[in-house]
Amino acid sequence: MKNLQFAVLGTGFWSYYQLSGWQEVGGAVPIACYNRTRSKAEAIAAQFNIPHVYDNVEQLLDRHTAELDFVDIITDVDTHAPFTQQSAQRGLHVICQKPMSPRLATSTQMVEKCREAGVQLYIHENFRWQTPLRQLKQALDSGVIGRPFKARITFCSAFPVFDNQPFLAELEQFILTDIGSHILDICRFLFGEAETLYCQTDRVNPKIKGEDVANVLMRMRNGVSCYAEMSYASILEREAFPQTLVLIEGERGSLRLGHDFVLYTTTRTGTTFTQCSPPVYDWADPDYAVVHASIVDCNRNLLQDLQRTVFGEAGEGSSAVETTGKDNLETMRLVHAAYESARTGQVIAL
């Protein structure tokens, strides 16, 4: 099958890992890249043999649309909507980093603009593709613990995330849009949609603008009471970053995804455990290993759908695409409902 060709819009911290993920998957080749600071684009282009470099998005699109199949947007959140619209207007499919945009209405418009243009919009929501979370989902769906009724999804850490991504400290809304969009998507991945939500937030770190603690309690439509807790201010006995820890209780037992990617299955007959370690890639940062490994499976899933769309056929072992713009819009509804609940102190009906 012929390689797809794409442009990279944004060559900051995350782009190296995103491009490494594409290289790992194969089947898609970057031919142009953009960054508002040209030197950063030139550095990434040199690493990945990208022939064309720009510091102006419109110039890139004007000169290369005929050669491109899609764009991969890895810029700051404020540029996601305009870059998506510019690409869609030229008939290019779009992959965009999360969160879609700062406002729910704008995220909705992104989905609509791509639908009207007849192009696909995908959100690079990779957390649900982490190996331990996929195996947890398989165990849950197997029925080993029966009907689930309660769950706790935890991402609490003191990891200095602002060192690598200092712009995060300047966000007026931080943890719910940053890690919250991942964690709330995991809740949907495991249990489906929510019917009510209540949230409380706090800012512990005085050097940042946004909230660094958020606690969200949801009643899912399937009856599960789901508690999602997020913090970058938690000094704990054992640092978990970047692992997501999960406890699910069911009528016949429980599932616990613990430290070091161990999945514990407990029933009345006892507890068994399964090691769910992610693949190890030499390009991944050891501090983010499970997250960076999930980029590969997420990219593979998106590529398979792009191949179906562009060539009318699927790649080997293809499966249904998961993280479309339409699907991720439901995660964005949870993020913005959480902010509304924290602001008003009210339970939000969804």
Whether pLDDT at 314 is above 60: no
Domain ranges of the chain: 4-124, 128-287+332-349
Q: What is the mean pLDDT of residues 42-53?
A: 98
Q: What is the mean pLDDT of residues 283-287?
A: 92
Long-range CB pairs of 143-146 (<8 Å, 24+ gap) are 144/252, 144/253, 144/255, 144/265, 144/267, 145/248, 145/249, 145/250, 145/251, 145/252, 145/253, 145/254, 145/255, 145/265, 145/267, 146/250, 146/251, 146/252, 146/253
Domain 4-124: give its CATH code.
Answer: 3.40.50.720
Given this chain, do its domains 4-124 and 128-287+332-349 carry the same CATH topology?
A: no
Tell me, what's the pLDDT at 312? 86
Tell me, what's the pLDDT at 321? 96
* Lateral strand order in the sheet of 262-267: 270-275, 262-267, 253-257, 245-250, 148-156, 225-231, 213-220, 194-202, 348-349
44 within 8 A of 37, measured Cβ to Cβ: no
Q: Are strands 213-220 and 225-231 parallel, antiparallel or unpaired?
A: antiparallel
Q: What is the mean pLDDT of residues 128-154?
A: 98
Query: Among residues 258, 268, 275, 194, which one has the least CA distance to residue 227?
Result: 194
Q: What is the mean pLDDT of residues 95-99?
A: 96
152 within 8 A of 183, measured Cβ to Cβ: no
Mean of the per-residue pLDDT values of the chain: 96
pTM above 0.75, yes or no: yes
Domain 128-287+332-349 in this protein, CATH class: alpha beta
Residues in Cβ contact with 99 at an 8 Å cutoff, skipping those fewer than 6 apart: 77, 80, 107, 177, 178, 181, 332, 335
10 within 8 A of 78, measured Cβ to Cβ: no
User: Is residue 333 classed as helix, strand or coil in its secondary structure?
Assistant: helix
Q: What is the mean pLDDT of residues 100-109?
A: 96
Tell me, what's the pLDDT at 165? 84
Tell me, what's the pLDDT at 56? 98
Whether pLDDT at 316 is above 70: no
Residue 232 pLDDT level (bands cut at 50, 70, 90): very high
Q: What is the mean pLDDT of residues 80-86?
A: 98
Residue 105 pLDDT level (bands cut at 50, 70, 90): very high
26-35, 316-325, 338-347: the lowest-pLDDT one: 316-325
148 within 8 A of 191, measured Cβ to Cβ: yes
Q: What is the mean pLDDT of residues 155-168?
A: 91
What CA–CA distances, in Å, run from 83 to 93, 121, 201, 229, 336? 12, 12, 31, 32, 22
Tell me, what's the pLDDT at 318? 53
Token duo for residue 167: 């712009």
Tell me, what's the pLDDT at 196? 98
